[in-house]
Amino acid sequence: MSESVKVARTLEGTVVSNKGDKTIVVLIERRVSHPLYGKVITKSTKVHAHDEENMCKMGDVVQVAESKPFSKMKTWVLQQVIKSAVE
């Protein structure tokens, strides 16, 4: 019997806010083709993620993963900092 293990989605984005305690706001951009005209457009989504050690700064490129809800808005968790922001 093979048990199905649910793999959490992971996304990469840029930290746009770290003002909350143990919370970061990550801007995730994706490029999609317009269904009728075919022009490539950029769409973006902001997600709130849990940052346990408050280690992220604005401008960091991070990887976040889906998780159990921490609060009403916060359903993602920080996995790793891919690139630190230059100060």
| pTM of the predicted protein model | 0.86
Does 80 have pLDDT greater than 90? yes
Supply the pLDDT for residue 7. Answer: 75
In the block, residue with structure tokens 């998780």: 67
Q: What pLDDT, in 10s, does the model give residues 42-58? A: 999 999 999 999 999 99
User: Can you read off the two tokens belonging to residue 26?
Assistant: 């990550």
Asked if residues 18 and 57 have their Cβ atoms less than 8 Å apart, the reply is yes
Does 13 have pLDDT greater than 70? yes
Kind and range of the H or E element at 48? Answer: strand 40-50
Does 32 have pLDDT greater than 90? yes
| Alpha-carbon gap, residue 69 to 77, rounded angstroms | 9
SS3 12: strand
